[in-house]
């Protein structure tokens, strides 16, 4: 199986050292996430359903976590444990989100609820949340609290998104994507930097890198939802027709397609610059800074 992250890096034009390091980390995450489920008490259909989406995603969040924790010198075992827990909590949100959005496909395969049924998909999502917290519990109170906040705030975003549907304005859209996507990146960045033993001020800075990367990532995802190609995304475009999308909001403000895309790209760059600015300030090893910087630079590119 070609890891999805490899395809994404190629699309983004991330090459050389950054690409190699990211692919190494991806391999490590895939191996570890399999192992944690294999070594758990899960069995039968639950185990099958849990393995269904493993190793298939882009693994952006666990890789981001490892770049921070390892870039700060954290040890191998706790850092891969945290990264795996983050991926499990993310997978839980995907399984439940696909039920909410009535989505047929996820990560290039049928969604968990389409294969295993609604009832079992709900429980599978729950099992992932609990496994994530079980693994994180060993890492100390500060880290588990960050990890819990990541999930708790996402619940706010998912509910608010349902309530706004397609009537949101730009300010409301930002609020939704912040809670739905960016807070997750914010709190996993904070958790990973705590594992790396940095000062409170630097935990804040890592949080801001995560938040702005998360905003940029969701804006990109929404642009791709309109302009992307299905075979690259592993899910149909226009899947969530009713939910707020930056392009739709801008077009309701009388922008043409082209103007809306240009403006959305400009908003994306705003986020990237903040993240890059904070990245300059934090005490991360040069190799990890180099990789993160390459990723940040690549996000606002290649929509056409």
Judged by the rule CB under 6 A, the positions of this chain that interact with ligand IPE are: 4, 57-58, 60, 90, 93-94, 97, 101, 103, 107, 154, 180-181, 218, 221, 239-240
Phi, psi of 280 (to 5 degrees): -60, -30
Residue 271 binding target from Mg ion, ligand IPE, none, CB below 5 to 8 Å by type = none
> How many of the other CB atoms lie within 10 Å of CB of 214?
27
- Shortest spacing between CB 101 and Mg ion, in angstroms: 4
Collapsed DSSP state (helix, strand, coil) of residue 254: coil
Nearest residue (beta carbon) to ligand IPE? 57
Residue 204 binding target from Mg ion, ligand IPE, none, CB below 5 to 8 Å by type = none
Residue number, 144 or 246, with CB nearest to ligand IPE: 246
Residue number, 103 or 198, with CB nearest to ligand IPE: 103
Q: Which residues are paired to 105 by β-bridges?
A: 110
Contact, 34 vs 51, CB < 8 A? Answer: yes
Residue number, 224 or 287, with CB nearest to ligand IPE: 224
Residue 179 binding target from Mg ion, ligand IPE, none, CB below 5 to 8 Å by type = none
- Shortest spacing between CB 256 and ligand IPE, in angstroms: 24
Closest CA to 288 of 10, 25, 11, 3: 25
Is residue 208 involved in binding Mg ion (CB under 5 A)? no
- Shortest spacing between CB 283 and ligand IPE, in angstroms: 27
Residues 73-112 binding Mg ion (CB under 5 A) are 97, 101
Q: Which residues contact 41 (CB under 8 A, 6 or more apart)?
A: none
Alpha helix stretches (DSSP H) within 76-199? 76-100, 112-116, 118-136, 141-164, 170-177, 183-195
Contact, 265 vs 224, CB < 8 A? Answer: no
Contact, 301 vs 249, CB < 8 A? Answer: no
Collapsed DSSP state (helix, strand, coil) of residue 110: strand
Residue number, 233 or 275, with CB nearest to Mg ion: 233
Residue number, 96 or 198, with CB nearest to ligand IPE: 96
Residues engaged in binding Mg ion (CB under 5 A): 97, 101
């Amino acid at each position: 199986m070609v890891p999805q992250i490899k395809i994404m890096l190629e699309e983004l034009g991330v090459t050389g050292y950054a690409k190699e390091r990211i692919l190494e980390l991806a391999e490590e995450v895939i191996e570890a996430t399999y192992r944690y489920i294999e070594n758990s008490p899960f069995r039968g259909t639950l185990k099958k359903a849990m393995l269904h989406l493993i190793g298939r995603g882009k693994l952006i969040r666990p890789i981001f976590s490892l770049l921070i924790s390892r870039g700060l010198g954290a040890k191998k075992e706790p850092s891969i444990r945290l990264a795996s827990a983050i991926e499990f909590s993310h997978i839980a949100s995907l399984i439940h989100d696909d039920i909410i959005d009535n989505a047929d496909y996820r990560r290039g395969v049928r969604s968990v609820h389409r294969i295993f049924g609604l009832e079992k998909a709900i429980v599978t999502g729950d099992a992932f949340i609990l496994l994530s917290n079980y693994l994180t519990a060993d890492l100390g109170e500060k880290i588990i609290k960050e990890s819990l906040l990541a999930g708790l705030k996402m619940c706010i975003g998912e509910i608010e998104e349902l309530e706004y549907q397609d009537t949101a304005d730009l300010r409301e859209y930002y609020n939704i994507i912040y809670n739905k996507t960016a807070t997750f990146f914010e709190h996993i960045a904070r958790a990973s930097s705590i594992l790396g033993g940095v000062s409170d001020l630097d935990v804040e800075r890592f949080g801001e890198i995560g938040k702005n990367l998360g905003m940029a990532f969701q804006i990109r995802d929404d642009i791709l939802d309109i302009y992307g190609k299905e075979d690259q995304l592993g899910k149909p475009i226009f899947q969530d027709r009713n939910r707020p999308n930056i392009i739709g909001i801008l077009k309701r403000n009388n922008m043409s397609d082209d103007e809306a895309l240009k403006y959305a790209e400009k908003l994306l760059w705003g986020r990237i610059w903040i993240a890059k600015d904070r990245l300059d300030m934090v005490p991360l090893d040069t190799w990890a800074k180099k990789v993160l910087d390459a990723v940040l630079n690549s996000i606002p590119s290649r929509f056409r």
